Amino acid sequence: MKIGIVGITGRMGRAIANLAINNEITDLVCGITRPDDDLIGKDIGVIMALDNIGVNVSSDFEELFIKSDVVIDFSTPEITLKCAELARKYKKNLVSGTTGLNEEQKQQLSKYAQGTVIVWSSNMSVGINLLFNLSQDIASILHDDYDAEILEMHHNKKVDAPSGTALSLGEAVATGRGLDFGEVNRKTRDGIVGARQKNEIGFASLRGGDVIGDHTVIFASNGDRIEISHKASNRDIYAKGAIRAAIWSIGKEDGFYSMRDVISSNNNL
């Protein structure tokens, strides 16, 4: 299976490339970066301190999709939508872990998936997607007897808050309770905001150091508290999830899928 990578010279791009090169199922055939990157034209293997693999860094989106069976993308919402448009044009699969998409952009991504296979998740980690499932299940059991709050912490370079993963956890809780997430989320509290509303799903965001990603869902009642957490200590978990999703996507019907679909399937990837 031929893999192409958006942002090949970045941290995530390199992590995904390393796995793609060393996976017996995948073959890294193309990687692109921004047009002003000094590494354009360099062999991908060489820039990763590996052997020469005969594939040079490019900036050509069209080439990326022509050469690849599946393109893996961890970039920006604008670039992700461009990738989705090209994925549909060339009938190639797209796996994206881009965060920061607004609802309109997610809907546009879903429309592009009407002509190809797109797997998008705010977090490609298998573990965090299990946390999504557990949060939804727990919320459905506890109903509104327990207040739901979500705490997340990331490194000091992260630009969006709450994190996309935290918001997805909130959506899972809302789904479990049969609520409209858009109506019950409370992303900020500052000053005299009044008492907490019964169905609120609150968020708290912390930033500092080099924290890769910590997420905790808290269910608190008058008598006890349940906390379930996931803490990432290595970015390879996202790269592994992306490769798993790419392999899973082959042969699927056109549609808009999530990592939860990937881990819900009975496979041994």
CB 242 within 8 A of CB 104: no
Considering the domain architecture, whether residues 79 and 15 belong to the same structural domain is answered as yes
**Contact by Cβ (8 Å): 126, 263:** yes
Asked if residue 68 and residue 17 are part of one domain, the reply reads: yes
What number is the average pLDDT over the span 62-87? 97
pLDDT at 60: 97
Average pLDDT over all residues of the chain:
94
- pLDDT at position 268, please? 47
Q: Evaluate whether residue 190 is within a structural domain.
A: yes
Which residues neighbour 203 within 8 Å (Cβ) at sequence distance 6 or greater?
A: 149, 150, 151, 152, 162, 166, 167, 170, 185, 186, 187, 188
Say yes or no: 213 and 244 in one domain: no
Do 242 and 188 have their domain in common? no
Q: Please state whether the predicted TM-score (pTM) of the whole model is above 0.75.
A: yes
Residues 106 and 18 in one domain: yes
pLDDT digits (tens, 9 = 90+) for 208-234: 999 999 999 999 999 999 999 999 998
Q: Give domain status of residue 22, yes or no.
A: yes
Q: Do residues 115 and 12 both lie within one domain?
A: yes
Whether 267 has a pLDDT exceeding 60, the answer reads: no
Instruction: Determine the pLDDT at residue 143.
Output: 82
- What is residue 265's predicted lDDT score, i.e. its pLDDT? 67
Selection from 130, 96, 93 nearest residue 247 by Cα: 93
Residue 132 lies in a domain: yes
Q: Which of 49, 22, 88 is nearest to 239 (CA)?
A: 22
Please say whether the beta carbons of 128 and 242 come within 8 A.
no
Q: Higher model confidence: residue 143 or residue 252? A: 252
CATH number at residue 243: 3.40.50.720
Residue 79 maps to a domain:
yes
User: Which stretches within the chain are classed as H helix?
Assistant: 11-22, 44-47, 61-67, 77-90, 103-112, 126-142, 164-177, 181-184, 236-249, 259-264
How many domains does one find in the chain?
2
**Contacts made by residues 259-264, CB under 8 angstroms, sequence distance 24+:** 259/119, 259/121, 259/123, 259/124, 259/125, 259/126, 259/129, 260/121, 260/129, 260/132, 260/133, 261/119, 262/119, 262/129, 263/126, 263/129, 263/130
Residue 160's domain is classified under what CATH number? Answer: 3.30.360.10
Within a domain: 165: yes
User: Catalytic annotation on 158?
Assistant: yes
Q: Is residue 165 located within the same domain as residue 74?
A: no
Catalytic residue among 42, 82, 158, 252: 158
Domain region containing 145 = 126-232
Average pLDDT over residues 52-74: 96
Residue 140 neighbours by CB under 8 Å, 6+ apart: 176, 177
Whether residues 109 and 155 fall in one domain: no
Is there a single domain that holds both residue 105 and residue 75?
yes
Q: Are residues 130 and 218 in the same domain?
A: yes
Indicate whether 242 and 185 sit together in one domain.
Answer: no
pLDDT, mean of residues 28-45: 95
Neighbours of 257 (CB within 10 A): 21
Tell me: cis bond preceding 162? Omega within 30 of 0 counts.
Answer: yes
pLDDT above 80 for 5: yes
Same structural domain, 213 and 247: no
| Separation between Cα atoms, residue 18 and residue 91, nearest integer Å | 25
Per-residue pLDDT tens over the stretch 157-178: 998 899 989 999 999 999 999 9
User: What is the model's pLDDT at position 99?
Assistant: 85
Of 67, 154, 230, 240, the active-site residue reads 154
Tell me the per-residue pLDDT of 240-252, one tens digit each, with 9 for 90 and over.
Answer: 999 999 999 999 9
Whether 269 is in a domain gets the answer no
Whether 64 shows a pLDDT value over 90: the answer reads: yes
